[in-house]
Structure 1
Amino acid sequence: MIAIDLNADLGEGYGLYTFGSDEDLLESISSANVACGYHAGDPHRMRETVERCLARGIAVGAHPGLPDRVGFGRREMSVTPEEASDYVLYQAGALQAFVRAAGGTLGHVKLHGALYHMAMTDQAMADAIVQDLCRLDRSLMLFGLPGSRFEASAIESGMAFVAEGFADRAYMQDGSLAPRRLPGAVLHDDSRAAEQAVMLAMRGEASTIDGGNVAVGVRTLCIHGDAPNAAERARTIRQALVKNGVQIRRPKR
């Protein structure tokens, strides 16, 4: 049976501010990437999100970002590889403490926003982050783009890498994500996103921005949790996958 993991970013509020539809998303996903305090999240929200996920059998991962709450971690910052790896270790270790206190095990790490894309293309940064995570817990799985520098570093270090795809994004012919600034780079229609999710899971292909297809082998699909219709989109995607015989299941090493 074909199986795919559905992941979403959760716990991305702070203090009195709440973003996303976390409670509704929990009904559709199999893995959660929990904000760890830099781009979003606070200790109370981290604990609460972890406990909700564990109660539903959802795999818990750390979602560390750059220290840029005003920009929601989506703006690149001029940081050294060592600084970036310290940011990641600090946040992942904090979330790991909450997971352990709740009786669970931290399963994976998925970088957030600009840090995600920086580590996918900068070999020195990828190496530094992976090395620190390896020292934290070698059993962690690392989510990222297939064919990236981050994947190469994970494989070199012996850590498990889980290739990630995006149901709501168009791709370039080389298999990279189409930049958001290009028309058609984001698939706003839920049915189109569901169609792409089925393509990625069953055929290992995604739609390109010029109307073609490209091979993209993935084991997990991201559903952006901060979109206004995130919960409904997650349900639509999950239903389409199940209808086509795809099992929704957390990834394994």
Structure 2
Amino acid sequence: MNKGARSLGLLSLEDGLPPGSFPPTPPPGSIVDPAIYDDFPIITETVVGAWANVVIRGDPSLEPACIAAARRLVERGAIAISADCGFFMRHQAAVAAAVNVPVAMSSLLLVPTLLRQLPRPAKLAVLTADSTHCGEDLLGIADPADRARVVIGGIEGGKHLRNALMRPPIPTDVAVTEKEVSACIGQLRAAHPQIAALLFECTGFPSVTPAIRRSTGVPIYDITDLCRLTLASVV
């Protein structure tokens, strides 16, 4: 396969669309919006069998498909690789070992760094689509004292996650996502007033990041920040 333009490569969830059809137009600010990467080209490869519910709960058998998709992206010109679901974090090490470009599969890679940006009493809140499956194995923290500074909240039970779990998945209105994420943040901040920064695990959240930054006044990091950082290191 001939290489194309130097691109950001994304491992993609299964979308259930017929061959040759086009996915719904993503909202501005989403992980596949080229405008947020200075119009840097984005290419995608579907990970065979990677339905949202499978990736969220974790399935080691997906690893070969993740590696194969990543290698196809590199062959097509990807100079950095990420993914369109933060729970692909489980396959970070395997994919990074399989290709010769930087790999940043999930914003969860930022957890240890963000803790060190904050004063010791402060806490980091991780916002996820499903907190019931965002366990210790995904946080990359060994120190119990550091782990105590991370609080996790999710929007499981809401419309955003229900739509994402459909086959094929159904797009969720940005206003609905913003409402669900804002409500979760409000609950977390009420229970943990020491929260000083937020990290969005879900790749469906970046389209609401600017609005929630304005409404909360709290620093917020998401997968697009990590992708921009990674691209800046190699472009």
Q: 1 or 2, which has the higher helix percentage? A: 2
State the TM-score, normalized to the length of structure 1. Answer: 0.43
